[in-house]
Chains A and B, each alone.
Chain A
């Protein structure tokens, strides 16, 4: 079954404590990206990756890092989380020839 998994699904943390949200896909897709969703603002892209070792900034990259060492994984790293990064985060993937993006189930992050 085609899947995009995210872990953890829920996280409450404190300001400044580094955290990583993992994203993994089993579809051998080249393209992966991270979005955040906030009330009234819709989904906004944070970072994306066209393939292994190729990453680039989206619309709201400040305060986030990513890496793409393997095709299946695309972790989102918050080195020093702040309360304004409290949000619902989604990972998405698609293949090169496919216009359909698959989204993960989401990670709800609260930074106190």
Chain B
């Protein structure tokens, strides 16, 4: 069975601090990995995705994520956060059957 675990439920940072949000997944086959973001009052939107190739993927707004197969991880990073990054972040896995599994999300609060 697919599962996704996001260890940090709520992260509070000051502007310019570095960010790393953890995501671990379990799945027996090849997966595609995604990070979605939900800004206050908006719908979920794609931040970045990994299908294959270079395990370090870059997304919008300076975010990046690294796929480490041996650790079943896909952690999200940003070197310097901004107040506008305040949002909820979801890691998701899609397996071969097209079924998607989301983590429970991490709420990021960036203090100005």
User: Are these two chains actual partners, yes or no?
Assistant: no
Q: Residues on B close to A: CB < 8 A?
A: none
